[in-house]
Structures are given as C-alpha cells and as structure tokens.
Amino acid sequence: MQVFVTGASGWIGSAAVDELLADGHAVTVLARSAASAAALEAKGVRVQRGDLDDLDGLRRGADAAEAVLHLANKHDFANPAVSNAAERAAVQAFADTLAGSGRALLLAAGTAGLAQGRPATEEDTSSSFGPDSPRGGAENLALEYVDRGVHVVSLRFSPTVHGVGDHGFIAAITDAARRNGVSGYPGDGSNRWAAVHRSDAARLVALGLAKAPSGSRLHAVAEEGVSSREIAEAIGAVLDLPVTSVAPDDVAAHFGWIGGFFGMDGSATSTATQELLGWTPSGPTLVEDIAAGAYTTSEAR
C-alpha cells in the first residue's frame, strides 16, 4: 500500500515508518528540513518537502496515496491555539481529499481526559468538538467522515510513549527533578498515567492500518496506570534524589509547563484494541525504562 505519513521524523512516527516498511508498504513522508529529508530518504522512503501549514501540499500527498497516517503536531504549549488550529486544518484537508474514496485516514489522538474517576476505554468519545477545543477537535472531525467514504481510524496514544531517546513528558519531569534537587509528585501522587513503550506503539500503528475497521478508536496502552508517585520514585532512585510531594499551589513553579499535565489522571485500558488487532504489548514498562537510564544516561540526553 502507498502510505503518506506526517510526523515521520518524530518520536512515534520514525518507529512507525520502520514498521510500515517492514510490512512491505511504500511510504512517502512529509519533511520540513533538509536534514530530516536526508535521514528519511536513507530509510528508503520518498520525501515530499513541506509542513502542516502547506495545506495544498497535504492535499497532494493524500491524493497520491492509498492511506494517510497523520502523526505530526506543532506541540506549541506556549500557544496551544496555534497547534489546535493547525491540527484541525490538516485533518480537514486530508478528510476532504479522501472523501468518497474508501481510502484510509489514521490520525493521532490521546487517551488523557477521556474519562473521570476510571480508566478510559475505546468506547469513550472525545469531548473535544470545534476548532477551539484541544487538538482542534480533530478526532471527532475525522470520524464525521466515516459516513462520507473515508476509512477513519483514531490512534489514541498514552500520555507517555516511553523509551530511550524520548524527549517528551517524562523527560521534562526528569529535568524538573534535576533542576529542583528533588523528585516531586503532585499532591498525594495517586493520579495515574497510562503508558506504552515506543516499539509497541509503532506496531499498533501498523496493525491499525492493516486490520482496524473504519470508525475504530484504538488505544496504544500497555500499562493501565502508573501513579505519579511511582514515576517520581523511579526518577528519584536513578538520580539518587529525595522524593517528595509538591503542594498543588506549587506544582506550576516546581515542574514548569509539564506541571498541569503531570497532575492529571490519564489511566486507560486497551482490552478491546488488543482483542481486535491481536496486539500484545511486550516492551519494557515505564518504571523499567526509567530505572535502566532511558531518561538519564548520556545516550538519552
């Protein structure tokens, strides 16, 4: 299958491209820079230069493909409205191009915030609607196109997709521990994050392309929930730092931009996804990765 991929040089995207190539797909990727283009071409993929603001380019990529895998996001935490608008516009461009064709659109989403007081499941619908909502309401926008001839699959990733080389949320929490000289957790540390290893997440993407029915919401979740206290204890152990609670009023100052996310409860299950796809996560757990130095060795930094 000819697959057009955005975010192909990113943390999840680069591993997903490897899985697609291993499965025999022909891959064309969107690349912003010459360096990214060169690295991706070395893998044996075709490169289309451009970015998420180049909507005509996105339409051309989708029009020439049998499936679109949309993993890119601006991740502008200082100005989320910019990220939300870009995400919605990109998904709209892809969906309009693919409408009526029966071709596939797989897009990244998240499990965090789907449910309160219990783990989120694939049956939970996103409460994000409209351009001003998180990620521009892109998941719900895309799912509207199921009845318009697009094979839509939502890829809901855990709050942490972990492993050596991850510079995301756990890396930011680890940096906060170094900066403060203590490994902190918000409040009583009982809030939990779902977690999945990068290799398992990438395999889920490939299986989703191959096997998921249109309208599917897939959960890239290996661990239902790892508490913020467990995360802080693992970081504290590997850095040899004391572990302490951080009062709610001090979370923003202590952790920086990641504080609001770290205090959220983001537990989720993937029972339905595993049964549907025959997907069995087998990578290291989050605590195992932290203990092995995934966020503290020279290779990780």
85 has which bridge partners? none
CA diameter of the chain: 58
Helix (H, G, I), strand (E, B) or coil at 118: coil
Name the packing angle between helices 198-211 and 11-22 (round to 10°): 50
| Residues 259, 16, 93, 101, Cα dihedral to 10° | -140
Residue 30: burial class (beta carbons within 10 Å; 0-12, 13-18, 19+): buried
Tens-digit pLDDT profile for residues 248-267: 999 999 999 999 899 999 99
Tens-digit pLDDT profile for residues 13-69: 999 999 999 999 999 999 999 999 999 999 999 999 999 999 999 999 999 999 999
| Per-state percent for the chain, helix, strand, coil, to nearest 5 | 45, 20, 35
Residue 43: burial class (beta carbons within 10 Å; 0-12, 13-18, 19+): middle
| Residues 22, 28, 30, 33, Cα dihedral to 10° | 80
pLDDT for residue 237 is more than 90: yes
Residues 5-11, mean pLDDT to the nearest whole number:
96
| pLDDT in the model for residue 130 | 83
Cα(104)–Cα(70) distance, rounded to whole angstroms? 11
Tens-digit pLDDT profile for residues 115-165: 989 999 999 999 988 888 888 799 999 999 999 999 999 999 999 999 999
